[in-house]
Amino acid sequence: MASWDPRPPDDDAGPARRRDRRLPLAALAVVLLVLTGFVLARTVLAGDDPAEAPPAADGPVVGEAPTGGDVTDAVLPAVPTAELPGGGDFPVAGRGTWRVVPGTTPPVGAGRAFTYTVEIEDGATLAEGDQAFATAVDATLDDPRSWVGSGQIALRRVDATSGVVPDFRVSLTSQLTTRAQCGYQIRYEASCWKSDVGRVLINGARWVRGAGAFEGQLGLYRQYAINHEVGHVFRNPHVPCGGNGDLAPVMMQQSFGVSDDYLAQLTDSSPQGVEIPRDGKVCRPNAWPFPAGGPARR
């Protein structure tokens, strides 16, 4: 060990003098040992003290409609039907901008007229292509079982060549952009209506994989996702199951499940605009606001 004395060692010094030089070194070693123990003790205590531990990182804040509030670290309940099912690859990330799919439709329905575009997030791709998504949206919204079945709403698709600013945009969106835009407070995949930008965001993960409550009926789920989110455009709130074995109301959060108890458990710490009762009711999946069909198209 090198000497702490900055002067060169004196080899001619006698034993007594060498002992004198060693005494301060021994004393210093004791002091260092005490200080080291103190620092270690403080380190252990800091790790045990929440006030001194580093803060947990916040994650993105979701519902199947606009949500608010802060992200919580509460442990979420295990709800099997809310999990994203296995399946094909889906668009995980995109650029946060959208391209309008070319194409228009004639007006359908009667009553207050609404226009819409069909859009795909830039950087997000679907195996079946952009046009297949647009065709699914049109076929759903033109159906008399959809919102035009009320007899009070008319719909018409427009595109970038129409020179019309749409009333809303139905937008296929990547998983991560959907979470960023809709929130992720309930940590299961969902879609949403963003009224501040006039955009229905259809989560690409759900579009490809569907939802557990639909038991593999992907086409039915896609119709539900479109009708549910467009229902928010028309200011329809979430609702619970009406009765055991009934078709679920289209405004029930069926992406998460068709059991009131499940939904109540999920939304306890993240209100979704309506209180879901814990009443044991379980519905059957349903994609349509008017399953029996509405008035004839005009």
* CATH number reported for the structural domain that contains residue 142 in this entry: 3.40.390
How many structural domains comprise the chain? 1
CA distance 222 to 208: 9
Does a structural domain hold residue 92? yes
Q: Which residues contact 162 (CB under 8 A, 6 or more apart)?
A: 104
**What pLDDT, on the 0 to 100 scale, is given for residue 269?**
72
**What pLDDT, on the 0 to 100 scale, is given for residue 14?**
42
The CA dihedral of 238, 240, 243, 247, to the nearest 10 degrees, is 40
Query: What pTM value is reported for the model?
Result: 0.74
In whole angstroms, how far apart are CA 266 and each of 133, 135, 201, 241? 30, 33, 21, 15
**What pLDDT, on the 0 to 100 scale, is given for residue 271?**
66
pLDDT tens digits, 227-237: 999 999 999 99
Q: What pLDDT tens digit does each residue of the chain (298 aa) get?
A: 332 233 333 344 343 333 343 334 444 443 344 344 433 333 322 332 323 222 222 322 223 543 443 333 444 455 689 999 999 999 999 999 999 999 999 999 999 999 999 999 999 999 999 999 999 999 999 999 999 999 999 999 999 999 999 999 999 999 999 999 999 988 999 999 999 999 999 999 999 999 999 999 999 999 999 999 999 999 999 999 999 999 999 999 999 999 999 999 988 877 666 889 999 999 999 999 999 987 543 3
Contact of 29 with 4, CB cutoff 8 Å: no
**What pLDDT, on the 0 to 100 scale, is given for residue 107?**
97
Does a structural domain hold residue 189? yes
Does a structural domain hold residue 51? no
Question: 211: domain range?
Answer: 80-267
**What pLDDT, on the 0 to 100 scale, is given for residue 1?**
37
pLDDT tens digits, 49-81: 323 222 222 322 223 543 443 333 444 455 689
The full DSSP string for 107-168 is -EESSEEEEEEEEEETT---TT-HHHHHHHHHHHHTSTTSGGGGSSEEEEE--TTTT---SE
CA distance 48 to 40: 13
158 alpha carbon, distance to own chain's centre: 29
pLDDT tens digits, 108-124: 999 999 999 999 999 99
Does a structural domain hold residue 15? no
